[in-house]
A and B are shown apart, each in its own frame.
Chain A
């Protein structure tokens, strides 16, 4: 997305698409509001329905699930956004059985799509503060969280901060997922 000021100054950012590909004509971007975020604060505070925004894409194409073959999705924080597109797609084409989604959030307050996530396909773990009925103490992602979700033959999609991505990838490898079956989207810092 590129924003242009009256004097020609521009600011560009990349965002993940959260909507399923079936949503023809409508694209949902989920944008985390960052402290001092030049673009994210503008999108949260200034944009109103009817505004026009310049967008280009999608760019990348590697971090996409095409609705065939099993997929294990592992997201940390706002890293769940592109995985949500996959889960929604799977539910829409009635192949939710192909997808398993593991989400890591700091606390229930930090969980994205809290209303939409629940279902047999999804597991949520909390790293800082877990609700009483979470069935697991708060703590970082470990092998015991991932191992029950691995069935063999799946492609794994990992999205989150670089630290989360590396930790989750290491756990997936430990759980027996081949390195070449793991795709990673690392959230980079931006201007």
Chain B
């Protein structure tokens, strides 16, 4: 049933227009909600690989990825558990720069982002190209801590934050969509916070 809940009035608060539906401002908090033990991955052991349907399978080490042109995101982030944070700054490299080296083949439509923990999440290629996605290692000017995905995580800030894979180890380029860790468990395949795409069927 999807009708009115008897006796429920709710407590409306004045809504900040920067908040997508159903979200609240976490202010100084940055909640941590991953489903595995927080791994300790030394930067010198961290690598990032683009493979699958590409002209060149490319792996970058920590030093190699830092030698690429830097790119910054300044803006908001939104987690499906309903918190949002405004005015974050992340530093790293644009996924466009990385894909330009690997060269997706004709017919590539989606990627599976993969983490050093085995975590996965799927994304349409068009959601990570055109200046919409980064691999980042600094947050608000500080090295990204392990609980927030350090040494480096994916950043796709226009989608719910489970798409921004922590401890990211690479992208597998595919010619079809395939569900990742949370998507198999009932979360939405795309996860647009403005369309409130939280769960499958939204």
Chain A interface residues (CB < 8 Å from chain B)? 3-6, 9-12, 14, 38, 42, 46-47, 51-54, 56-63, 162, 166, 169, 172-173, 179-180, 182-186, 188-191
The answer to whether A53 and B5 touch across the interface, beta carbons within 8 angstroms, is yes
Q: How large is the interface on B (under 10, 10 to 19, 20 to 34, 35 or more residues)?
A: 35 or more
Contact B8 A46 (CB under 8 A): yes
What's the least CB distance linking A187 to chain B, in Å? 9
Q: Name the CB-closest residue of A to B8.
A: A3
CA distance in complex: A4, B145 (Å) = 39
Pick the contact of B36: A6, A53, A60, A183 (CB < 8 A): A183
Cβ of B137 < 8 Å from any Cβ of A?
A: no
CA distance A46 to B6 in the complex (A): 9
Please report which residues of chain B, range 73-102, place their CB below 8 angstroms from some CB of chain A when the two chains form the complex.
Answer: 79, 81-83
* Besides A54-B2, A186-B33, A191-B23, 20 other A-B contacts (C-beta < 8 A): A3-B10, A4-B2, A10-B10, A11-B8, A14-B81, A38-B10, A52-B5, A54-B5, A58-B186, A59-B185, A61-B184, A166-B32, A179-B36, A183-B36, A186-B35, A188-B33, A188-B81, A189-B31, A190-B81, A190-B83
User: How many residue pairs bridge A and B at CB < 8 Å?
Assistant: 110
Q: List 20 A-B contacts (CB under 8 A).
A: A3-B8, A9-B10, A11-B8, A42-B8, A46-B8, A47-B7, A51-B5, A52-B1, A52-B5, A54-B3, A57-B186, A60-B182, A62-B185, A179-B39, A180-B118, A188-B81, A188-B82, A189-B83, A190-B24, A191-B82
Interface residues, chain B, with chain A CB atoms under 8 Å away: 1-12, 22-24, 26, 29, 31-39, 79, 81-83, 117-118, 147, 181-182, 184-187, 199
Instruction: Report whether A4 and B35 are in contact in the complex, using a CB–CB cutoff of 8 Å.
Output: no
B31→A162 contact, CB < 8 A: yes
Cβ A191 vs Cβ B22 within 8 A:
yes
**In the complex, what residues of A have CB within 8 A of residue B147's CB?**
166
Give the complex CA separation of A3 and B147 in angstroms.
32
- Asked whether, in the complex, the Cβ of B37 is within 8 Å of the Cβ of A62, the reply is no
Q: Evaluate contact between A42 and B7: CB separation under 8 angstroms.
A: yes
Counting from the closest, the 9 A-B pairs by CB-CB distance are A61-B185, A191-B24, A59-B186, A188-B81, A3-B5, A46-B7, A3-B8, A169-B37, A5-B10
* Residues in A whose Cβ lies below 8 Å from that of B8: 3-5, 11, 42, 46
Which residues of chain A have C-beta atoms less than 8 A from B37's C-beta? 169, 172-173, 179, 182, 184
Report B79 CB to chain A, min CB distance, Å: 8
Assembly CA distance A173 to B37 (angstroms): 9
Instruction: Tell whether A11 pairs with B10 under 8 Å between CB atoms, given A61-B185, A191-B82.
Output: yes
Q: When the two chains form their complex, are residues A60 and B186 in contact, meaning their CB atoms are under 8 A apart? A: yes
Least distance between B89 CB and chain A CB atoms (Å): 23
Cα A67 to Cα B141 with chains together (Å)? 46
Determine if A60 and B185 form an interchain contact, defined as CB atoms under 8 angstroms apart: yes
CB distance from A182 to the nearest CB of B (A): 5
